[in-house]
Structure 1
Amino acid sequence: MQTIMITGTSSGYGLEMARHFLDKGWNVVATMRRPDDTILPASRDLRILPLDVTKEDSIAAAVAAAGPIDVLVNNAGIGVVGAFEATPMAQIRRVFDTNTFGVMAMCQAVIPQMRERRSGIIVNVTSSVTLAAMPLAAAYTASKQAIEGFTGSLDHELAHFDVRARLVEPGYAPTTRFAQNADLNVEDLIPPAYAGFAAPIFEGFAKPALTTKETDVAEAVWAAVHDTSGRLQFPAGADAVSLFAARRC
């Protein structure tokens, strides 16, 4: 049985990924900052470990406890929505600490064992904002775009050791907590000058034409793990697939 380690499994995409791979008979190492909050069902193939991807000691402890890892999925992330000029730099750094540097730190922690075995897959979960920039999400978009370039370069670098790096790009899912993870009130990040501009955008968030389901993302990760074509990007969800196709035209 192969082992997959997934970050950010307390809810949303990560939770569904854990369920999906458990259903497929994999050993799953599900990580989250507060393991006591998990709603994952008990299983002999499931291990739940505490992990904060912004802390090096937490990463080292989780990777050591996980044992040999065949697949790493970097899913943990936070979002922030608001006008860039009103977004505190401290919050922007926090977004990058989790979405960008946290991903890179997890990769550094796991790559050595994959390189030595000459086998392994790293799947980095970004966002459809990398396919088409979304207004009022500049900091979030930048943090995810950085991982797009990083993953492409990393895949070339690790191919020599038969290790692969892949991208899964989820679309918009109203059921995820996204901006709530930033612990900021969106209203505080919309100055009066932006109110008229922001109103129709938030209306679009509330009634999107196309959305992404958690199962779409889990299935895209599954496809990325099993793909042998050398493909780098895997859009997830009808909206992301549509944006990906439009970008390639």
Structure 2
Amino acid sequence: MKTVLITGCSSGYGLETARYFHAQGWSVIATMRTPREGILPVADRLRVLALDVTKPESVAAALEACGPIDVLVNNAGIGMFGAFEATSMTVVRNLFETNTFGTMAMTQAVLPQFRGRRSGVIVNVTSSATLAPMPLVAAYTASKAAVEGFTGSLAHELKGFGIRVKLVEPGYGPSTRFTQNVQMPIEATIPEAYASYASSILSAFEQPSAVTTECDVAEVVWRAANDWSEQLRYPAGPDAMVLAQAS
């Protein structure tokens, strides 16, 4: 029986990915900053652990508590929508702390056990915004694009140790990234000069031509984790697939 550790399981992609792997017979360690009763059912092969990817002591404690794992899914992330001009550098740094440095910290923490066994898979969840950058998500896109570069390089670095590194690039899901776990209220990051422009962008978000569901992402994460090929990127969702083909 294989074991997967998934970060950011309190909602959205992480929660559905935990359910999906469990349904496939895996042992699942679902982590989140603040576990709440009822998020996931009490079941065999399923554990919920507290884990804040921005805190080294939390990362170390969670990995010690869960024991050896076969797959790490770096899904924890926060969203940001707004004009970069109105986005404080404190907010930008917070985005990178979770989306970028949190992914790096988790990866670094599992590498000794993966290298020692000469096996293991790291799946980093980014965004289709890295395939076709959009307006008003500049800081968010930058934090995810950094993970893309990191992952591509790491895949080469770890290949000789039998460790596979993958990227899953979800499309836009209204119930996930940009409406949950956001850093600031949208109205706080849209100056008057940007208001009419932002309004049209928000309208497009509210009525997208294609939507990526949580299940779309969970299925692709599962496929990436079980793919022994050298494929690096896995678009998830119909809109992400279109962007990937066009890029």
- The answer to which of 3-12 and 192-201 deviates more is 192-201
* Corresponding position: 1:240 with 2:240: yes
Write the deviation string for residues 191-228 of structure 1: whole angstroms up to 9, x where unpaired. Answer: 11111211110000000001100000000001101112
Structure 1 match to 2:56: 56
Q: Do the aligned partners of 1:22 and 1:46 also contact (CA within 8 Å) in 2?
A: yes
Unaligned stretches of 5+ in structure 2?
Answer: none
Letter in 2 for 1:246: A
Letter in 2 for 1:7: T
Unaligned stretches of 5+ in structure 1?
Answer: none
Q: Do the aligned partners of 1:51 and 1:62 also contact (CA within 8 Å) in 2?
A: yes
Q: Do the aligned partners of 2:78 and 2:183 also contact (CA within 8 Å) in 1?
A: no
Structure 1 match to 2:92: 92
Letter in 2 for 1:206: E
Distance 1:66 1:35, change over 3 A: same
Q: Do the aligned partners of 2:59 and 2:109 also contact (CA within 8 Å) in 1?
A: yes
* Corresponding position: 1:46 with 2:46: yes
Q: Do the aligned partners of 2:169 and 2:234 also contact (CA within 8 Å) in 1?
A: yes
Q: Distance in 1 between matches of 2:22 and 2:178?
A: 25
SS in 2 for 1:135: coil
Structure 2 match to 1:219: 219
Q: Do the aligned partners of 1:10 and 1:37 also contact (CA within 8 Å) in 2?
A: no
Q: Distance in 2 between matches of 1:220 and 1:15?
A: 14
Write the deviation string for residues 17-37 of structure 1: whole angstroms up to 9, x where unpaired. Answer: 000000000000000011125
* Corresponding position: 1:116 with 2:116: yes
| Aligned counterparts, 1:73-92, within 5 A | 73-92=73-92
Q: Distance in 1 between matches of 2:36 and 2:190?
A: 35
Q: Do the aligned partners of 2:148 and 2:167 also contact (CA within 8 Å) in 1?
A: yes
Q: Do the aligned partners of 1:5 and 1:28 also contact (CA within 8 Å) in 2?
A: yes
Structure 1 match to 2:127: 127
- The answer to which of 207-216 and 31-40 deviates more is 31-40
Q: Distance in 2 between matches of 1:93 and 1:48?
A: 28
* CA-CA distance at 1:180 after TM superposition: 4.0
| Aligned counterparts, 1:1-249, within 5 A | 1-176=1-176, 178-247=178-247
Identity of aligned residues (%): 62
Q: Distance in 2 between matches of 1:222 and 1:150?
A: 21
Q: Distance in 2 between matches of 1:68 and 1:82?
A: 40
Q: Distance in 2 between matches of 1:128 and 1:6?
A: 20
* CA-CA distance at 1:178 after TM superposition: 2.9
* CA-CA distance at 1:77 after TM superposition: 0.2
Q: Distance in 2 between matches of 1:103 and 1:80?
A: 17
Letter in 2 for 1:59: V
Q: Distance in 1 between matches of 2:242 and 2:227?
A: 21
Kindly tell me the number of residue pairs found equivalent between the two proteins. Answer: 247
SS in 1 for 2:47: strand
Q: Do the aligned partners of 2:91 and 2:183 also contact (CA within 8 Å) in 1?
A: no
* CA-CA distance at 1:185 after TM superposition: 1.2
Q: Distance in 2 between matches of 1:39 and 1:180?
A: 16
Letter in 2 for 1:58: S
Stretches of 4+ aligned residues off by more than 2 angstroms: 177-180
Write the deviation string for residues 15-68 of structure 1: whole angstroms up to 9, x where unpaired. Answer: 000000000000000000111255111111001110000000000000111111
Q: Distance in 2 between matches of 1:42 and 1:113?
A: 28
- TM-score, normalization: structure 1? 0.97
Q: Do the aligned partners of 1:78 and 1:179 also contact (CA within 8 Å) in 2?
A: no
